[in-house]
Amino acid sequence: MASITLDKIVKTYGASTAVHGIDLQIADGEFVVLVGPSGCGKSTTLRMIAGLESISGGTLKIGARVVNQMEPKQRNIAMVFQNYAIYPHMTVHQNIGFGLYTSKLSRAEKDARVQEVGRILGLSHLLERRPAALSGGQRQRVAIGRAMVRDPQAFLFDEPLSNLDAQLRGQMRLEIKQLHQRLGSTIVFVTHDQVEAMSMADRIVVMREGRILQVGAPMELYNRP
């Protein structure tokens, strides 16, 4: 796990600026939620951290290393999307194991790692199933398992719960929070839902129009006039 440092990070698309020089220090093991209305630059910021989007200005560090020019794979940052990104034709085991397909582990080592991740996520009894035979919450856990299996430096979540019904959303909030407590992972979680931000974050970063408006612990922001 590692800290993440954004130093005057800028993103421009042609003549328009999506992110206007953001400064943010995310501590090793911290759970940070980026919150704000649609279009304020949350997803762009997350994608720059992941290396899925080029950085137009500023410096991005993971731990002590500047990663501006580094490929996503080298950063070893795991991204979990709202549409799950799991393969319907593969079993749960194969889906989770897919995260290891470029690794040099032996087949037995890969299998052990998949079993371990399956245990952590409560999927052990479902490893031979395909996604169609899983519930929404189980599928979400498979997507997290795929991200976890490589032991990433940090997890990035881009509105992962917004397609789920209210009850499942509540349950998954709790599960992701528990996972954070168990693994001590650095997590950056994007949502437009303030309740979600309040219930999950160590620290909330409120964004508006490509800038940071406020940063604080949930209770600090809640009590501020």
38 binds ligand ADP per the rule CB under 6 A = yes
Based on CB atoms, which residue is closest to ligand ADP, 2 or 86?
86
User: Rounded CA gap, 5 and 22, in Å?
Assistant: 10
User: Rounded CA gap, 214 and 27, in Å?
Assistant: 17
Distance of CA 96 to the CA centre of its chain: 16
Q: Which listed residue (5, 6, 35, 93) binds ligand ADP by CB under 6 A?
A: 93
97 binds ligand ADP per the rule CB under 6 A = yes
In the Cβ-directed half-sphere of 12, how many Cα atoms lie within 13 Å?
7
Whether 26 and 5 have beta carbons less than 8 Å apart is answered as yes
At its nearest, how many Å lie between ligand ADP and the CB of residue 176?
19
Which part of the chain contacts ligand ADP (CB under 6 A), choosing from 22-30, 63-71, 81-89, 104-112? 104-112
Which residue has the closest beta carbon to ligand ADP?
Answer: 43
162 binds ligand ADP per the rule CB under 6 A = no
Q: Which listed residue (5, 55, 78, 110) binds ligand ADP by CB under 6 A?
A: 110
For 47-81, the three-class secondary structure string (H helix, E strand, C coil) is HHHHCCCCCCEEEEEECCEECCCCCHHHHCEEEEE
75 binds ligand ADP per the rule CB under 6 A = no
Binding site for ligand ADP (CB under 6 A): 13, 18, 36, 38-44, 91, 93-94, 97, 107, 110-111
